[in-house]
């Protein structure tokens, strides 16, 4: 049981480049989330999904897209990276929206 | 507008003493509250939670207190240990909407 995994762990992008972050969970959870953490800003929700094939916007969705084609995977895409997207990204999954118990280890992204 | 506030960015406590981390919220409809601990370069880990129908929940050295009239919750760690040094986030839940997180408090436990 691997829990929540994230790929990659680190990435450096140039402004304008694109990339996809992959989140996978093996707990059969319906709910999956993407957060970003910036110094002094806490955890801010980017997008989330309440089930396979569904996605919804969170607090800071601009510049990101997501897809949930399979229940176990939640992808976060940056079409044209900007320096403001330099952050640590965490994926999470849960069986209930009111209680997240599992976060991934994070992806540190730097956009130059 | 912040719905969940952790007004102390940092806190230092001596080993063996009590650590008290505070969290205030503005929405009286929140019905479930959680605390998470986060070490550097790791994801947050769930620590303890409390339902709005309770005013206290205990798990080992960790106790969460909820004061609904003051819209305030606190996490008590007794006794504090150096391994407790981390950033602590509180979060609040309302029905089926995603959790709302505070900005975190960095706890340093000094040996």
Cα dihedral B85, B98, A47, A60, rounded to 10, equals -70
The shortest C-alpha distance from B99 to chain A (Å) reads 6
More confident position, A42 or B37: B37
**CB-based contact A44 B46, cutoff 8 Å:** no
Give the 3-state DSSP-derived string for B40-102, with helices as H, strands as E and coil as C.
CCCCCEEEEEEECCCCEEEECCEEEEEECCCCEEEEEECCCCHHHCEEEEEEEECCCCCCEEC
pLDDT reported for residue A58? 95
Q: What is the mean pLDDT of residues B74-95?
A: 97
pLDDT reported for residue A40? 85
Q: What is the pLDDT of residues A1-38, one digit of tens each?
A: 679 999 999 999 999 999 999 999 999 999 999 999 99
pLDDT reported for residue A1? 67
Query: Which structure tokens are listed for B72?
Result: 């305030």
Pairing, β B56-59 against β B72-77:
unpaired
Q: What is the mean pLDDT of residues A33-44?
A: 93
pLDDT reported for residue A98? 87
Residue from A60, A77, A79 nearest A68 by CA: A77
> In this complex, which of A45, A101, A106 lies closest to B98 when CB atoms are compared?
A45
**Residue B96 pLDDT level (bands cut at 50, 70, 90):** confident
Q: What is the mean pLDDT of residues A36-46?
A: 93
**CB-based contact B102 A42, cutoff 8 Å:** yes
Q: What is the mean pLDDT of residues B5-27?
A: 97
Give the 3-state DSSP-derived string for A59-79, with helices as H, strands as E and coil as C.
CCCCCCEEECCCCCEEEEEEC
Kindly report the average pLDDT of chain B as a whole number: 96
Percentage of chain B beyond pLDDT 70 is: 99
Q: What is the mean pLDDT of residues A85-92?
A: 98
Distance CA A25, CA B82 (A): 31
Put simply, the chain B residues between 41 and 100 with a CB less than 8 A from any chain A CB are 41-46, 49, 89, 91, 93, 95-99
The shortest C-alpha distance from A71 to chain B (Å) reads 18
Tell me: pLDDT of B7 over 80: yes
Enumerate the residues of chain B whose CB falls inside 8 A of the CB of residue A48: 98
Which of B36, B43, B101, B104 is most worth mutating to test chain A (most A CB atoms within 10 A of its CB)? B43
pLDDT reported for residue A41? 87
Distance CA A41, CA A51 (A): 28
The shortest C-alpha distance from A28 to chain B (Å) reads 18
Q: Helix, strand, or coil here: A3?
A: coil
**CB-based contact B102 A98, cutoff 8 Å:** no
């Amino acid at each position: 049981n691997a829990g929540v995994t994230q790929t990659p762990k680190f990435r450096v992008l140039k402004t304008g480049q694109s990339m996809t972050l992959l989140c996978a969970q093996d707990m059969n959870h319906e709910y999956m989330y993407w957060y970003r953490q910036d110094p002094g800003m806490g955890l801010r929700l980017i997008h989330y999904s309440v089930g396979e094939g569904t996605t919804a916007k969170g607090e800071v969705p601009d510049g990101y897209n997501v897809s949930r084609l399979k229940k176990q995977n939640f992808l976060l895409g940056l079409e044209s990276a900007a320096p403001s997207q330099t952050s640590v990204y965490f994926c999470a999954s849960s069986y209930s929206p009111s209680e997240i118990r599992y976060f991934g280890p994070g992806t540190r992204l730097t956009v130059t | 507008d912040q719905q969940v506030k952790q007004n102390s960015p940092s806190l230092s406590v001596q080993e063996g003493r009590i650590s008290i981390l505070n969290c205030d919220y503005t929405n009286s409809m929140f019905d479930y509250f959680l605390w998470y601990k986060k070490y550097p370069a790791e994801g947050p880990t769930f620590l303890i939670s409390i339902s709005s129908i309770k005013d206290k929940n205990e798990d080992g050295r960790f106790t969460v207190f909820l004061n609904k009239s003051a819209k305030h919750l606190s996490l008590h760690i007794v006794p504090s240990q150096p391994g407790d040094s981390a950033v602590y986030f509180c979060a609040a839940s309302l029905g089926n909407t995603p959790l709302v997180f505070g900005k975190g408090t960095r706890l340093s436990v000094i040996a």
